[in-house]
């Protein structure tokens, strides 16, 4: 692997109070190490959060972070965040997955990203890493298919379109002699710092209420958050990353039945009682939920439950070979160990599963 570029004097992170944001800051606080990758940062760290209530969440993880408060969709907020950020590394992770309405996708994911890109260019930042998603590429055509590093866009509903437009803005801004841009594309996260929706997933699996659609052979790429932190840190500092896009996931996709079985086993091994029953639904239920989701979104309405169920019968799998080859990405944590760590984190935080 090529030698990594010099550590920046200033690192700027948006979405700092989110799932990835806090995992990334924890990597900095730990100074790198096993499972965290090259996250050493002795320089300054600026972190953007959305509300004053989010400030403590960042300070608890990295007390030395300079915390800014504001909406990434407000250009004035982003300009203040990036003022004097000449030569900085910018990690843009702010985004919305489950908004109040469909308009929220474009406002935050598309307009917010355009604001960050424009401000980073004006400030003279060295590199911008955009944390994207699998959604600009939709779903796989077959159970045995995987998305490649040069996969064409085929966005899945409004979220996918908003992230695709954001990626296009990031790509268009790339300048080898100025602001270098890199895109990382993580799928479904798991791991410490998880939000309520992931805790709800654990609880539904524990009680046997999370539905398995069809025969469960549909595959999902997933990424343990420390694996993602490693991938982003490499994208920030690897000389061959500039101008590229990378899938950052665990080493292999997991069949959905394996995901549910593994979570159950991890819960049992951590001392939880797990229901023996398992709700099973025909794959048709996912297709019906998707049709309802599409209809609602066409009218500007977003409904999280229909959206999630509409994806559960589908394969969303990616190939990380390009990331391994170019970045030297080496995900150390797989599903069982990662899920056990996630459960232990919940217990330590007093989060009820």
Q: What is the pLDDT of residue 1?
A: 57
**Total Cβ atoms within 10 A of residue 86:** 12
pLDDT digits (tens, 9 = 90+) for 259-268: 999 999 999 9
Q: Is residue 184 part of a domain?
A: yes
Q: Is residue 3 part of a domain?
A: no
Cα–Cα distance between 204 and 218 in angstroms, integer? 19
pLDDT digits (tens, 9 = 90+) for 185-231: 999 999 999 999 999 999 999 999 999 999 999 999 999 999 999 99
Q: Is residue 105 part of a domain?
A: yes
Q: Is residue 200 part of a domain?
A: no
Tell me the angle at which helices 335-349 and 196-206 cross, rounded to the nearest 10 degrees: 110
Q: Are strands 254-255 and 219-220 parallel, antiparallel or unpaired?
A: antiparallel
Cα–Cα distance between 146 and 148 in angstroms, integer? 6
Tell me the angle at which helices 196-206 and 256-269 cross, rounded to the nearest 10 degrees: 80
Query: What's the rounded mean pLDDT across residues 31-60?
Result: 82
pLDDT digits (tens, 9 = 90+) for 239-251: 999 999 999 999 9
Backbone angles phi, psi at 114, to 5 degrees: -60, -40
pLDDT digits (tens, 9 = 90+) for 46-105: 999 999 999 999 999 999 999 999 999 999 999 999 999 999 999 999 999 999 999 999
Q: What is the pLDDT of residue 31?
A: 79
DSSP 132-145: --SGGG---SSTT-
- Structural domain boundaries enclosing 136: 10-194+221-252+316-333
The count of domains in the chain is: 1
CATH code for the domain of 38: 3.40.50.720
Q: Is residue 32 part of a domain?
A: yes
Q: pTM for this structure?
A: 0.96
Is residue 157 scored above 90 in pLDDT? yes
Is residue 24 scored above 60 in pLDDT? yes
Is residue 35 scored above 60 in pLDDT? no
More confident residue, 284 or 43: 284
What average pLDDT is seen over the chain?
Answer: 95
Q: What is the pLDDT of residue 56?
A: 97
Q: Is residue 247 part of a domain?
A: yes
Q: Is residue 168 part of a domain?
A: yes
Helical segments of the chain, H only: 19-30, 55-61, 75-81, 103-104, 112-123, 157-173, 196-206, 225-237, 256-269, 283-298, 304-311, 321-327, 335-349
Q: How many residues does the chain have?
A: 353
């Amino acid at each position: 692997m090529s030698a990594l570029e010099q550590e920046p004097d200033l690192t700027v992170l948006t979405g700092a109070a989110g799932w990835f944001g806090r995992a990334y800051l924890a990597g900095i606080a730990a100074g790198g190490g096993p499972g965290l990758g090259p996250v050493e940062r002795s320089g300054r760290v600026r972190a953007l959060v959305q509300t004053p209530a989010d400030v403590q969440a960042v300070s608890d993880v990295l007390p030395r972070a300079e915390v800014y408060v504001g909406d990434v969709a407000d250009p004035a907020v982003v300009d203040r965040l990036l003022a004097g950020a000449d030569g900085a590394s910018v990690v843009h992770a702010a985004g919305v997955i489950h908004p109040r309405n469909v308009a929220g996708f474009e406002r935050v994911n598309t307009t917010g990203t355009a604001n960050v890109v424009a401000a980073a260019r004006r400030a003279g930042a060295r590199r911008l890493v955009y944390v994207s998603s699998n959604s600009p590429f939709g779903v796989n055509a077959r159970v045995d298919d995987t998305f490649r590093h040069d996969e064409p866009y085929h966005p899945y509903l409004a979220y996918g379109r908003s992230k695709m437009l954001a990626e296009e803005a990031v790509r268009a801004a790339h300048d080898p002699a100025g602001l270098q841009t890199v895109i990382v594309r993580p799928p479904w996260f798991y791991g410490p710092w998880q939000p309520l929706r992931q805790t709800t997933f654990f609880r539904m699996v524990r009680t046997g209420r999370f539905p398995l659609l069809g025969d469960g052979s549909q595959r999902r790429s997933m990424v343990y958050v420390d694996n993602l932190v490693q991938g982003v840190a490499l994208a920030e500092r690897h000389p061959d990353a500039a101008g590229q896009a990378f899938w950052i996931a665990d080493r292999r996709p997991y069949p959905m039945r394996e995901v549910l079985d593994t979570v159950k086993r991890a819960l049992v091994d951590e001392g939880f009682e797990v229901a023996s029953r398992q709700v099973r639904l025909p794959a048709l239920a996912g297709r019906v939920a998707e049709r309802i989701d599409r209809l609602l979104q066409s009218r500007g309405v977003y409904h999280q439950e229909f959206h999630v169920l509409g994806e559960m019968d589908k394969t969303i799998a990616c190939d990380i070979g390009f990331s391994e080859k170019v970045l030297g990405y080496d995900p150390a944590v797989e599903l069982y160990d990662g899920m056990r760590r996630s459960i232990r984190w919940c217990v330590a935080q007093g989060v009820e599963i």
